[in-house]
Amino acid sequence: MKIVLVNPRGFCAGVRMAIDVVDQVLDILPDETLYVFHEIVHNRHVVERFEDRGVIFVETLDEVPEGSIVVFSAHGISPAIRTQAKERNLTAIDATCPLVTKVHSRAIRYARQGYQILLVGHKNHQEVIGTMGEAPEQTQIVESPECIKNLNIHDPDKLVYLTQTTLSVDDADEIVSALKDAFPNIKAPPTDDICYATTNRQHAVRQVSPMCDLVIVVGSKNSSNSVRLTEIAQNVGTAGRLIDDVRELDPAWYPTGEETIMLTAGASAPEDLVSAICRHFVKEHNATLHLADIFEESVEFGLPLTLKRMMESQGIDHADRRVRVEAPVISADEYGSVAVPLTISTGKSA
Ligand code: SF4
């Protein structure tokens, strides 16, 4: 059996930053009960590990006692939630990914300019709910080309589209192209809203999966970008399976034991879950590990201002606390074996 580990996979800079925020607050205020509004990132293991450390995840701010500390998740929130936090005298630390914030800023700007906004995305996703909240009267959600006929358009020359950051690039292209057919003068955002991490992980799957018998994506079922990776594998003709961890592997997926299996992870999945799967395959199937580096990523984000102030008040220097994600190093101890690099055309990304 061959296991092909692709890079990039797993944590993006936004997820790393959000997790780091919760970690840092727990470290500097060990006696405070910390509340997080929604799952900090869409991964069951990340949430459970924080719950084990006493973090309480809530779905409404009414559940947070007045005066407490609350962290807003990486997916972003609507202004109404920010207002509610102020009314409840909460100390709010905003761990929204800056790339989601960018989409919010665009929604605000276009709404002020009198545009109707067509937001391409999944209506129940936290990110879409948050972005929609910036200009609810002027925003309509477009989940598929079929939704277009039901839109309520005042002026087809004063329309703009925005997209959720974690969509499938192919699905978004199809919807945007249908929007352009229906409204030829619709305005596009200045740059793509689908983020670098989503795009790169999808390209890697598209490029490597045709040479594999199976694609295993590590991620939770409510992680949009993880689900999209599985769909992309299936679209190019390779079976794709989304699993939370090694316990969900099913030997029926690799009946001969001679298969080539691509292993990747959604942007919210911790790398130790990937390494546990590698150890399993090396031990149980004598697998060899191969590394396919498709894109180099070099993105870093700063910590939220409220957290920096909190650190300053505790005398903690945050000057070098920018969040950076590097490709994981494969060691025999962690992964069960070292990995052999595969020669596949590579690219550079943001
Ligand atoms: S997937 Fe993209 S938008 Fe979402 S947290 Fe990561 S970098 Fe930010």
For 25, 67, 118, 141, the CA distances from 175, given in Å and listed in that order, are: 40, 44, 11, 11
The one-letter amino acid code at 308 reads K
Query: Percent of the chain beyond pLDDT 70?
Result: 98
Long-range own/partner contacts, residues 63-66 (CB < 8 A, 24 or more apart): 63/35, 64/35, 64/37, 64/88, 64/90, 66/90
Model confidence over 179-216: pLDDT tens digits?
Answer: 999 999 999 999 999 999 999 999 999 999 999 999 99
Q: Which CATH number fits domain 13-97: 3.30.70.890, 3.40.50.11270, 1.10.1750.10, 2.170.120.20?
A: 3.40.50.11270
What is the CB < 6 Å shell around ligand 1?
A: 12-15, 74, 97, 99-100, 165-166, 195, 197-198, 225, 267
Does position 345 have pLDDT exceeding 60, yes or no? no
Q: Which residues are annotated as catalytic? A: 127
Query: Please, what CATH class does the domain formed by 99-182 belong to?
Result: alpha beta
Q: Residue 254 Cα, ligand 1 centroid: separation in angstroms?
A: 32
What gap in Å lies between CA 171 and CA 132, rounded to an integer? 20
Predicted pLDDT at 186? 98
Mean per-residue pLDDT for 11-27? 95
Ligand 1 nearest-atom number relative to CA 15: 5
Predicted pLDDT at 350? 47
Q: How confident is the model at residue 320 (pLDDT cuts 50, 70, 90)?
A: confident
Q: How confident is the model at residue 322 (pLDDT cuts 50, 70, 90)?
A: confident
Model confidence over 54-100: pLDDT tens digits?
Answer: 999 999 999 999 999 999 999 999 999 999 999 999 999 999 999 99
Residue of 131, 165, 299, 324 with the most ligand 1 atoms within 8 Å of its CB, for mutation: 165
- Say which DSSP state 148 is in: G
What gap in Å lies between CA 240 and CA 112, rounded to an integer? 43
- The residue extents of the domains of the chain are 2-12+196-299+326-348, 13-97, 99-182
Say if 2-12+196-299+326-348 and 99-182 have the same CATH topology.
Answer: yes
Contact 70, 57 (CB under 8 A): no
pTM: 0.93
Where are the alpha helices (H) located in 119-195, listed in sequence order?
126-132, 169-182
Q: Residue 285 Cα, ligand 1 centroid: separation in angstroms?
A: 34
Model confidence over 120-130: pLDDT tens digits?
Answer: 999 999 999 99
Does position 291 have pLDDT exceeding 80, yes or no? yes
Predicted pLDDT at 344? 62
Does position 346 have pLDDT exceeding 70, yes or no? no
Model confidence over 230-261: pLDDT tens digits?
Answer: 999 999 999 999 999 999 999 999 999 999 99
- What tokens appear for 235 in the block? 């679209």
Residue whose Cα lies nearest atom 6 of ligand 1: it is: 14
Mean per-residue pLDDT for 140-161? 97
Q: Residue 9 Cα, ligand 1 centroid: separation in angstroms?
A: 13
Query: Please, what CATH class does the domain formed by 2-12+196-299+326-348 belong to?
Result: alpha beta
What gap in Å lies between CA 217 and CA 228, rounded to an integer? 10
- pLDDT averaged over every residue in the chain: 95
Query: Percent of the chain beyond pLDDT 90?
Result: 91
Predicted pLDDT at 298? 85
Model confidence over 30-55: pLDDT tens digits?
Answer: 999 999 999 999 999 999 999 999 99
